[in-house]
Structure 1
Amino acid sequence: MRGIRMRVAGTAAALLAAVLTGCAEPRSATTVAEKPALPPSPAVSDSPTPSVSPSPASPSPTVTRPSATGSPSVRPATRPVTTPEPTAPKPTFLRMTVAAGAGRLDLVRGGAAEEFTVTLHNGNTRAYGHLRLAFQMEILVDGTPANERPPSDGFVLERWDAATGAWRGAELRIANDALPPEFHEGGVPLARDTVRTERYRLRAGSAGPVGSTPLMIALIDTDAPAGASAGEARPASFALPHTTRRD
């Protein structure tokens, strides 16, 4: 037993001497592996908030906000704008209107004249080169002898001349027959879509018959060709009620 213990103690002493000898020797490249160098620590900014590099730009998502009713608002699709084709205007035609103070003429022999107006409203279908107003009254029958009747039965028709500011005599036919349109000449032009008003007045002289008969006003187109219809040669007419009496 004692010999075994001495051998163990000797072995332990040899191992301890070997260890101490190894520690005293310098490290060699073959015995100790060098540790790899660590990368340098990043610089620390004095700012309390670290700097963050922005990420690459990316498309923002489309956000649809709900409308007042709770449902998402939807933008209506754009429709192409179309221009409507122009339509042809409705055709209009020539017409004539006559106006008097009481809607009629009420004359007194030897009294004042009464005025009335004749207005021409041309349409958009055509222009006229020569239009003429023709006035006619039938013969009054009251028992007055023919030799006591003045010319035109004592009636005087006048037209207001705006250019001179005066009343001018106008033709008044007293007859019971109608004069054909082709016997009329002259007249004035009337363009399309034109309105023209003329003033007239009628007076009954002190001498002459009394009674009631309309004042017939005819608009004559003196440019109408021979054989034209009555509507073409006389595009408008009017009968103005009239009465002449003694005071």
Structure 2
Amino acid sequence: MPAPTGPLRSLPVAVLGAALLAGLTGCAETPGATPAAPSAPPSAQASVSASASLAASATASASAAPSAPVSPSAGASVTGAAPPPSPRVASSPPAPTRLTVAVQTRGGRLALVRGGPAQEFTVTLRNGNSVDHRHVLVAFQMEPLIGDAGDPPAGGPGFQLERFDPVSGTWRPTALRLAADAKPAALFTGGGPLGRDAVRVERYRLRAGAGGPTGSSPLMVSFLDTDAHREAAPHVAVPHTSTR
């Protein structure tokens, strides 16, 4: 180490050695050490202590205060039971219905000319919801015509009744009973099925022969259940007149 120069030369050796020892001690401290944070002043510590006391006092007051009572109505509005379900009304069964029939023709009547064209009409059967018919027969009857004064003697067929067959697309002869008495229902056979709520429409046509008498007599249309041997529906009378 070089010898001190300048003012240091005049210092005593003991003082100079003490100064050097203090410098070496300061240099020996651990690099990067963080100095301790300065303690808060007394006034700040007092403020913190006062705030903590006030917070503790407020907490104690809140814990000691009684809770507000809950209104029963308020609780019921939130947790009330659901209203009871409305009672189910049982639907009543449909009213029973029966077979109904109708006969439609031009002008509501049969106006024939002897030896002229046939006149067509339809028969509609509309079954109800009560009975399944296995055999329903449509039957026709007319009283014989007496004839007007001056008519020639009857000759040839008086009338020709036909039914349209939808399968073959042709007209086929159908029975027409000419009598003044009623035929018992038990003597009829045949007919077609007619289930519940089923509808059947049949086409017919009637022609007056050239050699028959003239006059008026209703065409009676009957509807017979040939299994039960009775009428399935009331008969229908169609007005009819034959002229020359």
Aligned to 1:149: 155
Give, as a single letter, the amino acid of the residue that structure 2 aligns with 1:162.
P
Deviation of 1:236 (Å): 2.4
Q: Give the equivalent residue in structure 1 for 2:135.
A: 130
Q: C-alpha distance in 1, partners of 2:87/2:106?
A: 52
Which residue identity lines up with residue 244 of structure 1 in the other structure? S
- 1:244 match: 242
1:107 alignment counterpart: 112
Provide TM-score, normalisation by structure 1: 0.63
Note the C-alpha offset of 1:108.
0.3
Look up the match of 2:212. 208
Three-state SS of the structure 2 residue aligned to 1:135 is strand
Runs of 4+ in 1 over 6 A off after TM superposition: none
* Partner-residue secondary structure (3-state), 1:235: strand
- State the 1:79 CA deviation: 5.6
User: Which AA in structure 1 matches 2:207?
Assistant: R
Cα distance between partner residues in 1 of 2:165 and 2:182: 27
1:78 Cα shift?
Answer: 4.5
Unpaired runs of 5+ residues, structure 1, are 1-36, 43-60, 64-76, 226-231
Query: 2:115 matched to 1:117?
Result: no
| Identity fraction in percent | 47
Structure 2 residue 218 is matched with structure 1 residue 220: no
Q: Shift in Å at residue 233 of structure 1?
A: 3.6
- Is the contact between residue 181 and residue 234 of structure 1 (CA under 8 Å) also seen in structure 2? no
One-letter amino acid matched to 1:103: G
**Which amino acid in structure 2 is aligned with residue 172 of structure 1?**
L
Q: Which structure dedicates a bigger proportion of its chain to helix?
A: 2
- Of 188, 199, 202, the match for 1:198: 202
Match of residue 192, structure 2, among 185, 188, 193: 188
2:116 touches 2:207 (CA, 8 Å); kept in 1? yes
Q: What's the CA shift for 1:125?
A: 1.1
Give the drift of 1:86.
1.7
- Cα deviation, residue 83, structure 1: 2.3
Query: What letter matches 1:149 in structure 2?
Result: G
- The answer to whether 1:89 aligns with 2:94 is yes
Distance 2:138 2:103 in 1: 12
Give 1:81 deviation, angstroms.
Answer: 3.0
* Distance (whole Å) between structure 2 residues aligned to residue 97 and residue 203 of structure 1: 21
- Unaligned 5+ segments in structure 2 are 1-44, 52-70, 75-81
